[in-house]
Structure 1
Amino acid sequence: MRHDLRVFPPLGTQPLRRRLLALGATAIAACALGLAAPQAHAADKIIIMVGGINKLIYLPPKLAESLGYFKEEGLDVELQSQPAGVDAENELLAGAVQAVVGYYDHSIDLQSKGKEVTSITQLLLVPGGMEMVRADLAGTVRSMADLKGKTLGVTGLGSSSSFLAQYLASRAGLKAGDYSILPVGAGNTLIAAMKQKRVDVAWTTEPTTSILLASGAAKVLVDMSSVEGTKAALGGLYPASSLYVHRSWMMSHKAEAQKLARAFVKTLKYIQTHSAEDVAEKMPKDYYGGNKAIYVQALKASLPMYSPDGKMPAGGPEQVLKVMAGFNPNIKGKNIDLAKTYTNEFVDAVK
Structure 2
Amino acid sequence: MRSPQRTLSVITLLLTVAISACSATDPSKDVAESPLTEIKVGALPVPDASTAHIAKDRGYFRAEGLDVSIAPIQGAGPALESLIGGSFDVIQGNYVTVIQAADAGRKLTVIADNYQAMPGTFVVMVPKGSAIKSMADLKGKTIGVATLRSIGTLTVTVALRQVGLTANDVIFKEFPLPEMKTHLLAGRVDAAWVTEPYSTQIGYSGGTQIGDMTAASGPLDIFPIAGWIVSSEWAARNPDLVARFRRAIVRAQHDAASDRNAVEEILPTYTKIDPATAAVIALGTWPVTLERKRLQRVADTMREIGYLTTPFNVDQLLTTPTPTSTPKG
| TM exceeding 0.5 | yes
Contact 1:268 1:310 in 2 (8 A): no
Task: Confirm whether residue 281 of structure 1 aligns to residue 258 of structure 2.
Answer: no
Task: Give 1:343 deviation, angstroms.
Answer: 5.8
Aligned counterpart for 1:332 among listed residues 288, 309, 322: 309
Please give the alpha-carbon distance, in whole angstroms, between the structure 2 residues aligned to 1:116 and 1:146: 41
Query: In the alignment, what sits opposite 2:40?
Result: 47
The alignment status of 1:320 with 2:298, answered yes or no, reads yes
Q: Which amino acid is the alignment partner of residue 203 of structure 2?
A: L
What are the residue-to-residue correspondences of 1:125-204 with 2, within 5 Å?
125-126=116-117, 129-136=121-128, 139-143=131-135, 145-187=136-178, 189-204=179-194
Contact map agreement 1:49 1:80 (CA 8 A) in 2: yes
Question: What is the Cα deviation at residue 253 of structure 1?
Answer: 1.0
Q: CA deviation at 1:84?
A: 2.1
1:310: which partner in 2?
289
Q: 1:251 to 1:285 in 2, by over 3 A?
A: closer
% identical equivalent positions? 21
Task: Say whether residues 1:206 and 2:182 are aligned partners.
Answer: no
Backbone CA RMSD of aligned residues: 2.6
Q: Residue 111 of structure 2 aligns with which residue?
A: 120
**CA displacement, residues 54-75 of structure 1 (integer Å, 9 cap, x when unaligned):** x112221122222222222111
Give the equivalent residue in structure 1 for 2:317.
341
Q: 1:282 to 1:237 in 2, by over 3 A?
A: closer
Distance in 2 (alpha carbons) for counterparts of 1:100 and 1:230: 29
Q: Assess if the C-alpha contact under 8 Å between 1:84 and 1:159 holds in 2.
A: no
Is it true that 1:294 corresponds to 2:277 in the alignment? yes
- 1:171 is displaced (CA, Å) by 4.4
SS at match of 2:192: strand
Distance, in Å, in 1 between the alignment partners of 2:280 and 2:191 is 23
8 Å Cα contact 1:132-1:221 kept in structure 2: yes
Counterpart residue identity of residue 281, structure 1: E
Question: Matches of 1:199 and 1:261 in 2, distance apart?
Answer: 40
Q: Contact 1:194 / 1:217 at 8 angstroms: preserved in 2?
A: no
Q: Which amino acid aligns with 1:311?
A: L
Cα distance per residue 1:192-229 (max 9 Å; x no partner): 111112122222222222222233223241242xxxx2
Return the letter of the residue paired with 1:46. Answer: I
Residues 137 and 200 in structure 1, CA contact (< 8 A), matched pair in contact too: no
2:55 to 56, 64, 89: 64
User: Alpha-carbon deviation of 1:261?
Assistant: 0.6
Query: Residues 58 and 241 of structure 1 are in contact (CA less than 8 Å); yes or no, is this contact kept in structure 2?
Result: no
Task: Flag the 1:101–1:231 CA change in 2: closer, same or farther, 3 A.
Answer: farther
State the Cα distance separating 1:256 from its structure 2 match. 0.6
CA contact (8 A) 1:121 1:344 kept: no
Instruction: Tell me the TM-score normalized by structure 2.
Output: 0.77
Q: Following TM superposition, by how much is the alpha carbon of 1:294 offset from its aligned partner in structure 2, in angstroms?
A: 1.7
Equivalent position of 1:248 in the other structure: 233
Conservation of the 8 A alpha-carbon contact between 2:107 and 2:232: yes
Are the structure 2 counterparts of residues 80 and 158 from structure 1 closer, same or farther at C-alpha, using a change threshold of 3 Å?
farther
Indicate if the aligned counterparts of 1:84 and 1:185 stay in contact, CA closer than 8 A.
Answer: no
1:319 match: secondary structure: helix
Aligned position for 1:77: 68
1:344 is displaced (CA, Å) by: 9.2
- Which of 79, 86, 92 matches 1:95? 86
Task: Provide Cα deviations, 1:110-148, integer angstroms capped at 9, x if missing partner.
Answer: 2210112121111223277222221346553312x3221
Q: Gapped runs of 5+ residues in structure 1?
A: 1-43, 346-351
SS at match of 2:143: strand
How far is the alpha carbon of 1:286 from its aligned partner?
Answer: 6.4
* Contact 1:126-1:230 at 8 Å conserved across structures: no
Q: Which residue identity lines up with residue 39 of structure 2 in the other structure?
A: I
Task: Report the 3-state secondary structure (helix = DSSP H, G, I; strand = E; otherwise coil) of the residue aligned with 1:197.
Answer: coil
- Work out the CA distance in 1 between the residues paired with 2:162 and 2:86: 37
Q: 1:282 aligns to what SS in structure 2?
A: helix
The runs of at least 4 aligned residues of structure 1 exceeding 6 Å deviation read: none
How many residue pairs get matched? 284
